Amino acid sequence: MTILDTIMTHKRGEVAARKARTSDADLAARIAAAGAPRGFRAALDARAGHALIAEVKKASPSKGLIRPDFDPPAHARAYQAGGAACLSVLTDEHFFQGADDYLVAARAAVTLPVIRKDFMADPWQAAESRAIGADAILLIVAALDDGPLAEIEAAALELGMDCLVEVHDEAGLERALRLRSRLIGCNNRDLRDFSVDVSRSYRLKALAPADCTFVAESGLNSRADLDAMAAHGVHCFLIGESLMRQDDVETATRALVG
Ligand SMILES: O=C(O)c1ccccc1NCC(=O)[C@H](O)[C@H](O)COP(=O)(O)O
């Protein structure tokens, strides 16, 4: 059993409990009050140079606590001032010490589009994500069969959100391309043993169709890492830990993409 299997098993139980305590009317009212999505993929595509999705990440299963003085709105403002194109906010509570409220607070502090970084198991979570203001959701291909993937994607697109479709290998990319979204993320982290291999992004970028916005995710630390990615045609990056460990998050962000 991999960590992803463990997370998804836990998530299905969590979602069932959330669904049971949330009325459809309440969810619909919160979606209506959420305002229009900010255009996540469009914000990446609009950047001429390196386009950064900067992650608000308190902890992770591989590293434990990353940021003791965790302050989502302050980190969000620092990321925006430093030149990030979008934000990612981890909302999973059990494995990442995240919270829906972190996304709400971070998004309210900036004008950037925000992806809800969580583990989607059910189309209902697309509606729940929009209700807390998310502009995009993550779909992890390795976590779901094709049917549920397409159903969750359809629910998200219907609500005007983008889907970042995350893959780890060639087979995953092939399945991702059966979906409608053309926003593809390659996670460099192996979710079986947490090892990171950035050459995965190099390989999969070469196989992705030209109409895809391609995002390299995980294990990126420096401007040199991003420049090496750019040499392989990768211009969009999702970075969490290395920025969250900095005392001055704004300066560190600017050093990456400024
Ligand atoms: O970060 C983990 O340990 C992790 C473990 C299991 C599933 C997912 C995990 N991370 C989610 C992410 O995709 C990363 O937070 C994101 O790509 C940023 O990575 P990093 O810059 O290495 O923090």
Our mutation pick for probing the ligand 1 site, out of 60, 92, 120, 221, counting the most ligand atoms within 8 A of Cβ, is 60
pLDDT score of 155 more than 90: yes
User: For the chain, how many structural domains are there in total?
Assistant: 1
Whole-number pLDDT of residue 193? 82
Question: pLDDT averaged over the chain?
Answer: 97
- Bigger pLDDT: 141 or 190? 141
Return the exposure string of 191-213: e unless at least 16 CB atoms fall within 10 Å of the residue's CB, then b.
Answer: beeeeeebebbbebbeebeeebb
Using CA of residue 55, residue 124, residue 105, residue 36, what is the dihedral sign?
positive
In sequence order, the 6+-apart residues with CB closer than 8 A to the CB of 133 are: 34, 35, 103, 104, 107, 108, 114
- Ligand 1 centroid vs 88 CA: distance in angstroms? 11
Q: Read off the pLDDT band of 51 (50, 70, 90).
A: very high
Average pLDDT over residues 79-91: 98
DSSP for 44-78, please give it: HHT-SS-EEEEEE-SEETTTEE--TT--HHHHHHH
217 lines ligand 1 (CB under 6 A): yes
Specify whether the CB–CB gap between 103 and 78 falls below 8 A: no
Whole-number pLDDT of residue 192? 77
In sequence order, the 6+-apart residues with CB closer than 8 A to the CB of 86 are: 40, 43, 44, 51, 52, 53, 54, 112, 113, 114, 115, 136
Q: Where in 133-212 does DSSP place strands (E)?
A: 136-140, 162-167, 183-187
Whole-number pLDDT of residue 258? 82
62 lines ligand 1 (CB under 6 A): yes
* ipTM surpasses 0.90: yes
187 lines ligand 1 (CB under 6 A): yes
Q: Report the C-alpha gap between 2 and 188 in whole angstroms.
A: 16
Contacts of 97-103 with C-beta under 8 Å, sequence gap 24+, read 97/58, 97/59, 97/65, 98/57, 98/58, 100/132, 102/56, 102/58, 102/72, 103/72, 103/132, 103/133, 103/134
Amino acid at site 180 = R
What single DSSP character describes residue 208? S
Average pLDDT over residues 21-40: 97
Our mutation pick for probing the ligand 1 site, out of 11, 96, 189, 244, counting the most ligand atoms within 8 A of Cβ, is 189
Q: What percent of the chain has pLDDT over 90?
A: 97
Q: Read off the pLDDT band of 38 (50, 70, 90).
A: very high
pLDDT score of 210 more than 90: yes
pLDDT score of 78 more than 90: yes
Q: What is the tens place of the pLDDT at every residue in 102-122?
A: 999 999 999 999 999 999 999
Whole-number pLDDT of residue 160? 98
Q: What percent of the chain has pLDDT over 70?
A: 100
Tokens 């502009």: give the residue.
135
Our mutation pick for probing the ligand 1 site, out of 218, 226, 253, counting the most ligand atoms within 8 A of Cβ, is 218
pLDDT score of 190 more than 90: no
**Which residues constitute the domain of residue 152?**
3-257
- Ligand 1 centroid vs 187 CA: distance in angstroms? 8
Domain CATH code at residue 57: 3.20.20.70
Catalytically active residues are 55, 57, 117, 166, 187, 217-218
Q: Report the C-alpha gap between 90 and 103 in whole angstroms.
A: 8
Average pLDDT over residues 17-31: 98
Specify whether the CB–CB gap between 157 and 37 falls below 8 A: no
- Ligand 1 centroid vs 218 CA: distance in angstroms? 6
Whole-number pLDDT of residue 239? 98
